[in-house]
Structure 1
Amino acid sequence: MKRFLTRFIILSFISLVLSQLAWAQAETLTVKGKLVDQDGKPVAGATILVQERTSGVTTDKDGKFNIEINGNDRLVFKMPGYNTQYKAALDIKEAEPIVLVKSLIDAGDDDDVYIPFGVRKKREVTATITTVNNSDLPQLPLSTLNNALTGRLSGLHIQQTGNRPGTDDASFLIRGRSSNNSASPLVLVDGVARDFVDMDLNEIESISVLKDAASLSWYGMYAANGVIYVVTKRGSASATKVTFDAQGGLQTPTTLINPLNAYAHAYLYNEARQNDGQAPQYSQNQLIGYYTKSDPYLYPDVDYPSEFLKKASPVQRYVATVSGGNAFARYFTSVSVYDQDGLYKGGETPNYNSNTNFRRYNFRTNLDLHINKNLDVTLDVGGRVSNLRYPRDGNTSFLNTIFNTPANAFPLLNPNGSYGGSSLFRTNPLAMLQARGNITDVYRTLLATMTVRQKLDGILEGLSLNAAYTYDMTGLYTSGFTQNYIAYEWQGGNSYQGYGTETPLNYAASTFSDNLRNNEFWGGFDYDRTFSNHSFKFSTRFQRAVSASASRLDDRREGISNRLSYGYQQRYFIDANATYSGSQNFRPGKRFGWFPAIAAGWIASEESFLKGNKVIDYLKIRGSHGLVGYEAIGASRRFAFNNYFTRGGTQYFFGTGFSAVPNTEQLDAANPNLTWEKAVKSSVGFDAQFLKQSLSITADLFRENRTNLLTTDLSPTIVGQTLVNINAGEAQYQGFETNLNYSKTISEFTFGLFGNYTYAKSKVIHLNEEAGLPKYQTQIGYPIGGVLSGTGTVRRFLISQGLFQSEEKIAAAPIQRFSGSVKPGDIRYKDINNDGVIDNLDFVSTDYSDIPTSYYGFGGSAKYKGFDVNFLFQGVAGRTIQINTLVNGGTSNTGYINQFSAYRWTQANPEEALYPRLTIADRVNNTQNSDFWLRSGDFLRLKHVELGYSLPASTIKKLKISQCRFFVSGYNLFTFDKLNGLPIDAEIPEAGYNSSYPALATFALGLNLKF
């Protein structure tokens, strides 16, 4: 912790010293100049401001101005209808007029689109890129940023997968999935590979999703799954800005198990045993004791979730930023603190606290230095320190205990005050919190980037040399307390049976681990030049990156990326990309490949047949086609192009000795022809604006065909050796997406509506499958992926036909060979191949998948005087989830009895039953993967609502601030689904069940201050 802070302070100090030196060099001088438009005509009445000051002048009728400034000042040239221009004082020459460019649609000051190592106006972009700015994202106290993006960007599907403090996990999918391996996109921060989810929102300027070949081919072999491109904030372009944000609130569970009480559990347990032909476990006297709760020690009835989970837990976030600068240096600095408490209660002891807690500190300083008119340098330093505390047994083990221990297992405390337990249930959740210790993980991350840009106008006007180098470090320090306890089973009187061994409180061994160092170097040339109506932009970069950890061999990658952009009359645009990149995952000689792409755009609204149209203000048609790759193909081992050997378990005797000698075995035979996945992406779409630019619509049709997927090698088994997979698979996805935005101002009332929708469906074209596989079991023609289950992803299911209602129905049905016997109340399955037997040949491939075919978001905002409100709905469709692991959860110790067991089949309610009969010993038939356990995962969720009030200008002027806003917000507020009252979360079905942390809703009060 101290070393991390020391490094950050030193780097920040250097940055500030450099900026202070800039001010120290200032000298007063008079600058004269002239403003002209693109045609050389004078621009009269334009405003010239000195950055960091309120003073300024305006141009006269001839466009001339005269202003006194310091040598390090930076001038800002503004004129309605023109793009704002910034120039350092020393760069202004009286003989060289300053040209103000008239703003075209999608080419104004606020229309910058960030691409890898470059910036384009939205008008120039021919690729498919969707961007959300910091100002459009909610200021919420969330531990990670991924879920703040949900529903806001077309083509980006975010599925939340976890809720624990500090692990607010989510998976990303861009457009569709055509790989049978990982579909995770490449995440970049300021152009280099870095994770962004632990950054604070106020560090970020914008987040973009790069979706087509034209935007992805720059990263060649690493970008087939798409790119999430994050741009951090930089120094203010016109003035010093100081901001402070604070939020505090509560997080409450939205779904939580409602466990059976002791009587219900005992009753249903007896029923399950009777269904198995066994004697009841609990006597009538015991059932009466549980029902009347006559003795809390002899007949315990413990509601574990209520005992150990709070109704709400606090969360808070504080952020301060400062930005500004002058002609020589611009800076942005931010500091933030985030604190999220867990839901566990009863974990505070005099020595430690075992309630889970997450606390994070974020730091960032971005410094831009204008050394002279030809040399610019940036130095970015960011970092974070996070502390994650949890019970020593782990969150999973603790949650599993409180969710799955039956209410009648034992009293938490015995009559003598000792921890309760039994021979079947030896884990006491109270003792897990109070007598097992805790663990604290401290993660330290330091991120540093230095870039240099040297203009080479002396060689060729518009040419510049550019270089960037990153140095990232991450480490984990683990510490805590260790302790153990004895659980006692009370046997009446003073008699107790103990389980376990008690150990005194002690410090746990501290460890350093997960140390990771990442470095990237990007170096090359840029050329940016405009000749009359022709504009040329060319970039070339050589990249080399290394990721080093003590626990593995270094990961290395390198390549050369090239991009050429041409524009004519700001109406016709074409971009060509070609990247030569490689991966060490493949054998020498087969490590590199070319990844070309081309894109074009046409501003049709500038043509004579549309220009002046009163309906269509702007129309751009664009399209792209190209090839990108994916090198992390998921081979069975690294460097699978080589043969490897290991010492086998079998031992042999040689010679006359009596000692056995271990043998040496070959692992999977090498595949020297392993290569990367190749994705051919095509996209065509348009951008349009209507009604005086108040309504904007974008739409895209897209398709991807991916080859070289890893699949089974069908070589004859006669070779006697298992082979690694081969690149013989093929799949595709296709679909469309659209965005809509509308805004309108009527007097003092402003409102806006927005929405986005994406449809994408995948299909397997070829995979090697076992010989003789029935056609109905093949994956060919079905979507990539499947339904998530406790054992992985399931693609084939039995077709259920309800529940057997009588022995006669069973006798007349095909024989079901998944268990010893089938009885009334068991699931009946369809005989697919009509052989009179239900077995593995009756599973069929289906379209069921956890990946939705459609995902969308829509919302709106309104503002009247000082009041404002905004909201967001998010939803998915075409998604399937399974409840097998929920309804049939538990162990034989619990009889697999849980709250869902109350809706089982019985002779008394055969028609109303939701689930099969209860059974403990013979459960195989009813737990098969079948469509009986599948449910719709479609949902529509009110993701976010915020209501704010800003103090009026007269008040904030007296307070000497520029803005003061109070607001109240809610996140994950309520959900509409198709689960027919099933008490689970449609997005994370197991949240609040089995061993998963509950899904959370967040309510917060906030304050925004700007100075």
Structure 2
Amino acid sequence: MKKTRHDLLLIVMRISITQAFVFLIAGMTWALPAPGQELLDKPVTIRMEDKSLKTVLSFLEEHTSARFVYSPKAVQAERRVSVHVTNQPLRKVLETVLAPMKIRYRLVGDQIILSQPKIPEEKTPEPPAESSAMPEAPEEAADRTLRGTVTDAAGAPLPGVSVAIRGTTRGTTTGADGSFTLRLPEEPVTLVFSSVGYLTQEQAITTQTVFSVTMAPADRALDEVVVVGYGTQKKADVTGSVSTIKGDALTKAPTPNLANSLTGKMTGVITTQQSGKPGFDDPTFLVRGKSTFGDNGALVLVDGIERSFSRLDPNEIESVTVLKDAASAAVYGARAANGVVLITTKRGKDGKTKISYTGSTGFQMPTRVPHVMNAYEYATYLNRAKVNLGDVPRFSDADVEKFRTGALPSTDWWGTVLRKRAAIQQHNLTLSGGKSEGTKYFVSLGVLNQNGLYELSDFKRYNLRVNLDNQVTKDFRVSLDIGARHELLSQSAIGDGIFTTLINSKPTERPYTPDSIAVGGLGSNGQGLSPIGLTQQSGYSKTTNDVFQGTLQATYAAPFVKGLSANMRFSYDRFFSAAKTFNTPYTYYVFDRAISKYTAFQSGGGTNLSEGTAQDARSTLQVSLNYDRTFGNHGISALLLTERIHYAYQNLQASRVQYISPAIDQLFAGPDLNQKNGGSATETARLGYVGRVNYNYRERYLLQANFRYDGSFNFPNGRRWGLFPAVSAGWRISEEPFLRSTTWLSNLKIRASYGQFGNDRVAAFQYLSGFRFGSGSVIGGSYQSGLADLGIPNPNITWETATNTDVGLEFGLFNGKVSGELDYFYKRTKDILLPRNASVPSTFGATLPYENIGIVDNKGFEAILRYQNQVRKVRFSVEGNMTYALSKVIFMDEPKDVDARIRKTGQPFDQFFALESAGLFQTQEEINAAPVQDGNGNKSIKTGDIRYIDYNGDKIIDGKDIHKVGKSDIPRLVFGFNLSVSYAGFDLTANFQGATGFQQFLRYDPFNLESNALAMFKDSWTPENPNARFPRLYAGLKQNNRESSSFWLYNATYMRLRNLELAYSFNRFAAIKKAGFGNLRVFASGNNLLTFSKMKDFDPEAPNIEPGSKSYYYPQMKTYNLGVQLEF
């Protein structure tokens, strides 16, 4: 049966899916890929003066589908050439450029192989190919024949590789299948393998007659095109601070949330994942730290349009680019102050239809789980805690002994209620191909199915992306992009509250009665919540999200003005969400040991239903003019763009309570009494104008100036528009004549930028007077609804403005084997909106408006260092990156007479302020001599209680002793370490990430209401254990030990093995190709597999647990996957 299904699947996948899909979706047709003749007939316009041959060939690669294969040394790729050709076939351009240099070319597929005739070359069998008429070199006599093959790291053959005997002029080049034949002398020789885009290798040949070699790619980063604001640029020409990662890196050990896949892989990006809850695991995403008191999130654009990216399928992504400084981000003006993230999705490429499938299945487990006390430990330490409080023990010595021996139960609530492993599956199918002169297409279908830790929790996601490009005429191109997503999120009605219940539940209770009814009991009176009832019988909460995204784009290249083009892009996005929560009561039992009987209880709250919908629509229109020309040694490009954004949102809510029966979960079934409904709507718009000019001289001296003039609905007339300019410059020192011939220096560039960008993500319409609906007062003993004043408006409210300075250094050594970047940045954000609540008396009597008064500084540095090489058949790369960012409050509203010890001005952002601990009291004499901590002469203080420092010296511990303690909860230094190794079809990738320079505030009250306690509290103070980690235990709230203090601050430094993948590719086997596969790859991967941290019971990325709180969070998850990738 399995074989039948497998055969059927192969048959279905190999039928003519291309024509059927395009007929249904696009109604378009396209031709098969162009043969070599059509490639050479492609029209090309090129004007370059005194440029290197390498630069000319790179230009031709970018503007045609050809790929040039050559040895830079053999063809002298740094030779300067000039070429001026208008709308001529590619063959004419090649003849114009190559003939004077006596370089011949031949075409193999879409690869054009260049070689010099002066090197005697052995004939290698090749398929028919068009070639220049230059004569072949004669053979030289030799004594033996060596046959070999040259492949890339994935096992694909490499044609056109130069194979030469070192120290001689004898050599050859590989054929279309990567094979070569070369006659050698009898004595040992060294062969030199070289090809553009790959590292040159030398291999010793002694007696071999058959030989194979794997080539490692060279650093071509400078020739890569990176996405920047409203366009693209060559990496070598970028003068701003930009980090880029290719989509292929995101599909290695993929995570359900795309944002988490970026962690540790890009400089300037600081992410913190505080939850592993399916569908709710978005991390905090900061670019170079915090710089405002409000929204610090980066602006995210997908294919040029503002959209969320966390839920995208990683198989759709071509690249992710982060714009970090003003030079790169100022073109986004009012929304760019916190950085910009540009997501580019994949598009179709020239060639036959390619079908790819990637699928994986696995499971998830918590990275850290809290270790709670078992029944024996609970009974023992609860008794001690009650005695310390002056109470009698809860359990007799006989019962304690029974817990120890197992005669009485000991329940692991965490293991009983939660799944030990939560299943996860991901599947993706893509279809791509097409023709440049016709239609190119990329289609992606993705499915994610992720279970949660408890029975009613799961997340399902379905992704669709269709990107179509049609070259209507030589000068006119139209693109249509469609993205859609459907999400289903389910959980119990209590949500994450179950984790608090699990920690607090008494281990001395059985989970079920003999009749399999849930048991509860958290409080000292024996009543409370049932963990099983909460997860299985308390009702449900379900949310459905539907997303549609459509973009239509047209580009016209004006033939009457060379280099001029016009572009229009219109997008329409729609989001709809429906949420429903149905709370149902349940029965649970509590065992009374005094009478050896179970007593029934009903969970409180009754049967309640709430439903809500939310929907929004966003339309974006961009119209731009682009100009790009080269005049001799001068290159210039310019952009003018206008952008209009319209946004509309509305929501509805309704609820009914105290249902007679939980049988019907619909609004009509609930009573009319206390029913509620509500809703709201809003409509906003933005308008902006963008300009940018780039200039370069000989691609050596680089200048850029840009601006954005933005208008926002958030501000009043006269304060509504803002201008955000930026300038930047770069100097490619390695292109200077005195360094061009240097063999060890492949790149050296310094760059600097200065500019401004803004932030308008603040509450809207603060400049208007208004009223709040739904308010009321008690008049005459009854509640009267009415309106309430919104507060004092501010007619002068305007933008928050950030001024940014960035200086960077980029370098490459030894043909790109070693490369890196260094950046220093400084950003001052001023006019931050804050109310003057501190300096104005609280008796003022009105809600104060927000004003542009706050100032925050943010500065730091980034560094990244890479090394890549190939030793024999082992190819590897190592990369380390780090980002240091420190945000400091320069001004915020504070009382004028505030003590310097608690003044936040001048302190790091989110700095902790609390009492400072001096350890634990060890003797009564220490207590008697200490400042008063309890307001009553320290009469309630006992040995083993926390001791505080009298910071102001008044002999009293109170709020006047609060001051700056520890560090903030924002990492000052984040770092990543990435490793990639491949050998003989195997490839291994690993990503380590960590953070340091921050602390977490984590405090619990063990045994409050006789609930259970974390096992770490076993290390609490006793006369026999004076050096304990925790203070004396109390079965209740001991106020002295509950104060916010440095005692509860933890060093949160950590390092994780974020991603690990081991894979094997079978494409080197002929049987795979005969079966119709372009590639077959199997892999095992994992996420968050290892965590190194001093925090053992909490995840270091967990949210702070505030004083007085006994809450717990949905734990972060580690994932194990097995998967397969197929290409047809």
TM-score by length of 1: 0.85
Shift in Å, 1:221: 0.5
Q: Where do 1:58-137 residues align within 5 Å?
A: 58-61=130-133, 111-137=224-250
CA distance in 1, matches of 2:28, 2:776: 68
For the pair 1:182 / 2:239, whether they are aligned, the reply is no
CA separation of 1:35/1:865 partners in 2, compared to 1, >3 Å: closer, same or farther? farther
Q: Deviations over 1:939-984 (max 9, x none)?
A: 12222222221112423222222211122222212122244xx333
Shift in Å, 1:516: 2.2
Which shows bigger deviation, 833-842 or 519-528? 519-528
For the pair 1:802 / 2:874, whether they are aligned, the reply is no
Tell me how many residue pairs correspond in the alignment.
Answer: 926
Aligned position for 1:485: 586
Aligned position for 1:387: 488
Aligned position for 2:206: none
Aligned position for 1:881: 1000
- What is the RMSD of the two structures over their aligned residues, measured on CA atoms? 3.4
Aligned position for 1:678: 801
Aligned position for 1:362: 463
Q: Deviations over 1:512-571 (max 9, x none)?
A: 612222221111211222222222211122111123221331232221111111122111
Task: Write the letter of the residue equivalent to 1:256.
Answer: V
Shift in Å, 1:164: 1.4
Aligned position for 1:976: 1092
Task: Write the letter of the residue equivalent to 1:863.
Answer: S
Aligned position for 1:638: 764
CA separation of 1:19/1:79 partners in 2, compared to 1, >3 Å: closer, same or farther? farther
Q: Where do 1:342-361 residues align within 5 Å?
A: 342-344=452-454, 347=455, 354=456, 356-361=457-462
Q: Where do 1:558-637 residues align within 5 Å?
A: 558-633=687-762, 637=763
Shift in Å, 1:440: 3.2
Q: Is 2:219–2:817's contact at 8 Å kept on the other side of the alignment?
A: no
For residue 998 of structure 1, the aligned residue among 1094, 1115, 1119 is 1115
CA distance in 1, matches of 2:385, 2:293: 41
Shift in Å, 1:361: 1.4
Task: Write the letter of the residue equivalent to 1:415.
Answer: P
CA distance in 1, matches of 2:695, 2:131: 34
Aligned position for 1:71: none
CA separation of 1:259/1:218 partners in 2, compared to 1, >3 Å: closer, same or farther? same
Shift in Å, 1:780: 2.2
For the pair 1:781 / 2:781, whether they are aligned, the reply is no
For residue 20 of structure 1, the aligned residue among 12, 15, 28 is 28
Shift in Å, 1:419: 2.9
Aligned position for 2:93: 36
CA distance in 2, matches of 1:1009, 1:109: 31
Aligned position for 1:90: none
Shift in Å, 1:365: 0.8
Shift in Å, 1:147: 1.4
For residue 477 of structure 2, the aligned residue among 376, 387, 391 is 376
For the pair 1:399 / 2:499, whether they are aligned, the reply is yes
For the pair 1:538 / 2:638, whether they are aligned, the reply is yes
For residue 949 of structure 2, the aligned residue among 827, 830, 833 is 830
CA separation of 1:455/1:967 partners in 2, compared to 1, >3 Å: closer, same or farther? same
Q: Is 2:372–2:1015's contact at 8 Å kept on the other side of the alignment?
A: yes
Which shows bigger deviation, 460-469 or 22-31? 22-31
CA distance in 1, matches of 2:558, 2:1115: 58
Task: Write the letter of the residue equivalent to 1:888.
Answer: D
Task: Write the letter of the residue equivalent to 1:749.
Answer: V
CA distance in 2, matches of 1:111, 1:699: 19
CA distance in 2, matches of 1:781, 1:370: 58
Shift in Å, 1:204: 0.2
Aligned position for 1:433: 535
CA separation of 1:662/1:519 partners in 2, compared to 1, >3 Å: closer, same or farther? closer
**Any gaps of 5 or more consecutive residues in structure 2?**
1-16, 42-88, 112-125, 136-158, 163-195, 199-217, 652-680
Q: Is 1:272–1:920's contact at 8 Å kept on the other side of the alignment?
A: yes
Which shows bigger deviation, 33-42 or 366-375? 33-42
Task: Write the letter of the residue equivalent to 2:476.
Answer: L
Q: Deviations over 1:129-156 (max 9, x none)?
A: 1111022234335221111111100111
For residue 515 of structure 1, the aligned residue among 606, 611, 615 is 615
Q: Deviations over 1:650-677 (max 9, x none)?
A: 5568xxxx99977865333222222221
For the pair 1:693 / 2:816, whether they are aligned, the reply is yes
For the pair 1:215 / 2:328, whether they are aligned, the reply is yes
Shift in Å, 1:210: 0.7
**Any gaps of 5 or more consecutive residues in structure 1?**
1-8, 64-77, 82-101, 348-353, 787-794
Work out which of the two has the higher radius of gyration on C-alpha atoms and give 1 or 2: 2
Q: Deviations over 1:283-316 (max 9, x none)?
A: 4454345444445xxxx53210111223322222
Q: Deviations over 1:744-794 (max 9, x none)?
A: 1233221111111111212222222113111121112211123xxxxxxxx
For the pair 1:955 / 2:1056, whether they are aligned, the reply is no
Task: Write the letter of the residue equivalent to 1:644.
Answer: G
For the pair 1:412 / 2:511, whether they are aligned, the reply is yes
Task: Write the letter of the residue equivalent to 1:837.
Answer: I
SS in 2 for 1:400: helix
TM-score by length of 2: 0.77
CA distance in 2, matches of 1:857, 1:38: 48
Shift in Å, 1:266: 2.9
CA distance in 2, matches of 1:927, 1:280: 23
Aligned position for 1:4: none
Q: Is 2:388–2:1033's contact at 8 Å kept on the other side of the alignment?
A: yes
CA separation of 1:15/1:233 partners in 2, compared to 1, >3 Å: closer, same or farther? farther
CA distance in 2, matches of 1:544, 1:41: 48
Aligned position for 2:662: none
Which shows bigger deviation, 510-519 or 207-216? 510-519
CA distance in 2, matches of 1:753, 1:150: 16
For residue 924 of structure 1, the aligned residue among 996, 1016, 1039 is 1039
Percent same amino acid at aligned positions? 33
SS in 2 for 1:609: helix
Aligned position for 1:5: none
CA distance in 2, matches of 1:20, 1:452: 17
For the pair 1:667 / 2:790, whether they are aligned, the reply is yes
Q: Deviations over 1:830-878 (max 9, x none)?
A: 1111111111111112461111111111122121221222212111111
SS in 1 for 2:1121: strand
CA distance in 2, matches of 1:222, 1:309: 42
Shift in Å, 1:605: 0.9
Q: Is 1:490–1:497's contact at 8 Å kept on the other side of the alignment?
A: yes
Q: Is 2:1010–2:1036's contact at 8 Å kept on the other side of the alignment?
A: no
Task: Write the letter of the residue equivalent to 1:775.
Answer: A
Q: Is 1:477–1:510's contact at 8 Å kept on the other side of the alignment?
A: no
Shift in Å, 1:247: 1.3
Aligned position for 1:47: 107
Shift in Å, 1:61: 4.4
For the pair 1:317 / 2:426, whether they are aligned, the reply is yes
Aligned position for 2:446: 336
CA separation of 1:439/1:651 partners in 2, compared to 1, >3 Å: closer, same or farther? closer
Shift in Å, 1:15: 7.9
CA distance in 1, matches of 2:442, 2:816: 33
CA separation of 1:818/1:193 partners in 2, compared to 1, >3 Å: closer, same or farther? farther
CA distance in 1, matches of 2:876, 2:539: 54
CA distance in 2, matches of 1:120, 1:803: 61
For residue 256 of structure 1, the aligned residue among 353, 365, 369 is 369
CA distance in 1, matches of 2:1103, 2:298: 24
Task: Write the letter of the residue equivalent to 1:335.
Answer: L
Aligned position for 2:856: 731
CA separation of 1:13/1:554 partners in 2, compared to 1, >3 Å: closer, same or farther? farther
Task: Write the letter of the residue equivalent to 2:93.
Answer: V
Q: Deviations over 1:896-950 (max 9, x none)?
A: 7432321111223222x11111224442221222111112111122222222211
CA distance in 1, matches of 2:476, 2:969: 52
Q: Where do 1:268-347 residues align within 5 Å?
A: 268-294=381-407, 300-326=409-435, 327-344=437-454, 347=455
Shift in Å, 1:578: 0.5
CA distance in 1, matches of 2:784, 2:368: 57
Q: Where do 1:548-563 residues align within 5 Å?
A: 548-551=648-651, 552-563=681-692
Aligned position for 2:262: 149
CA separation of 1:162/1:659 partners in 2, compared to 1, >3 Å: closer, same or farther? closer
Q: Is 2:1102–2:1113's contact at 8 Å kept on the other side of the alignment?
A: no
